[in-house]
A and B are shown apart, each in its own frame.
Chain A
């Protein structure tokens, strides 16, 4: 099984001027086509910096970040947007707009300066809407959508870019159980059906363990474990990284983490 290498970080170290310690230290990661990677770790462990480095917005002081064999910082934003689709944690909606208009923004990196939308662009938008089960929403105003629908639309916009790699930064942070599960199922289906490479930052250790092929566990800017969920998420590692007693129980062959309540009556 030799899938194409999409994103490669090797020995990445990042430092912000004046910061007491390195934000990232010697972190490596390889994401191949058709793989779902999850990045886990407590707040401030360097997850977002890792993603920003992978996307060429932060330059590592040591090591390197390559996308399709080329340094991430050497890509122009436009070229990169044709290869990588991103769902950032936050974005604004300054002016009211409709769902289809929003998804069309995903075609912008493919359009020429003077040219308009071509048939191929419209087809890509339709495909993205269908893939995210959002065709019925196409004519709705964005502000009328629920949180789960909104995330699906943003995913559709990223898919309209026709990327090889999809990067998601805590995409289920404010979703209820059903919408959260639906989003994970959708991302997993895209990975399996289209051979998309996915890199997802999430706080949901258990969902990551069930859906992702590989996880990277970050602690204070260093890798505390990388590989299949079953290898990485052991009790010792999880307790050290998350600084809380846990129990690990297998479910459908994947580890599930249960946080424990500290015993007050212990001797």
Chain B
């Protein structure tokens, strides 16, 4: 039932994203319009996939670090991706894939560093160190990023700034294809971890007594969720709050079991980001807001509301 509802909302949102835009496309020309086929549709589909990936990644990481305030970008990934992207912009790396690849490399580099830090205490991945290490690595990468930006030319600076706030203006069927090929593996790894993650909410030792191989689980979930986020950031920049707010909303509405949380967070994340992107490119048309600004403007009040509920109950 909930999936039918979410799927229906998703279809409506996607349809809205295709129908609305700066350019007037008459309804009867929709099917043939290159604006629809080459711009709006791939952009909407990409936004949906990225939103879904961020939602699922947020669910996985919140369960992993056992902290309801965790966000996929809290673990240093955004810092690393931003650094990679700014390096690509500042050094004017050639080719259409230079920027997303550099961002991906930066994110994966930060992920590897944080992972290594998390293993400092021994063979067990320590979630507390993951969080602290993520914040530290993110701050370090952010410092270098700011240093580069402060030395850059004005136009480069603006590009870098816009990229850091995320957006889908570069969307094409090729980027959609990249996500479609890339995302299923980490998504499948997380889906297979759904029940053990339910157990992990009790704590690491109780989870083991209920049959979870906690050591393996933590590594797999960290790697899968991070790789998912790294891909999202590579194609769309840093889009905050989707990975934080969507898991909470889904948990409040549909309960805490991950077998439900993963699919609902995927659909809800996709819906949220398609809606946010539609707003981002229509409210100040023909200009565009970075979509990260819209998700933050929508997300922060929702989050404040959730925090209030949390502390009241």
Contact = CB atoms under 8 A, between A and B. Distances in A.
Among A86, A93, A108, find the residue whose CB has the most chain B CB atoms closer than 10 A: A108
- Which of A84, A106, A109 gathers most chain B CB within 10 Å? A109
A93 B256 CA distance: 11
A92 B66 contact: yes
B155 to A, nearest CB: 47
Interface in B190-233: 192, 195-196, 198-199, 201-203, 205-206, 208-214
B283 interface: no
Contacts of A81: 209-211
A113 B66 CA distance: 23
A113 B205 contact: no
A108 B213 contact: no
A215 interface: no
B307 to A, nearest CB: 15
Contacts of A111: 195
Interface residues of B, number: 24
A111 B199 CA distance: 13
Nearest to A141: B313
Interface residues of A, number: 29
Contacts of A92: 66, 201-203
Contacts of A109: 210-211
A60 B211 CA distance: 21
Nearest to A158: B209
Given A90-B203, A94-B201, A108 B68 contact: no
A265 interface: no
A190 to B, nearest CB: 18
Contacts of A80: 211
Interface of B: 66, 68, 192, 195-196, 198-199, 201-203, 205-206, 208-214, 251, 255-257, 313
29 contacts: A57-B205, A76-B213, A77-B212, A77-B214, A78-B212, A82-B211, A85-B209, A86-B206, A88-B205, A88-B209, A91-B202, A93-B201, A93-B202, A94-B66, A95-B251, A97-B255, A101-B255, A101-B256, A105-B198, A105-B199, A106-B210, A108-B196, A108-B198, A108-B211, A108-B212, A109-B210, A111-B195, A113-B192, A157-B210
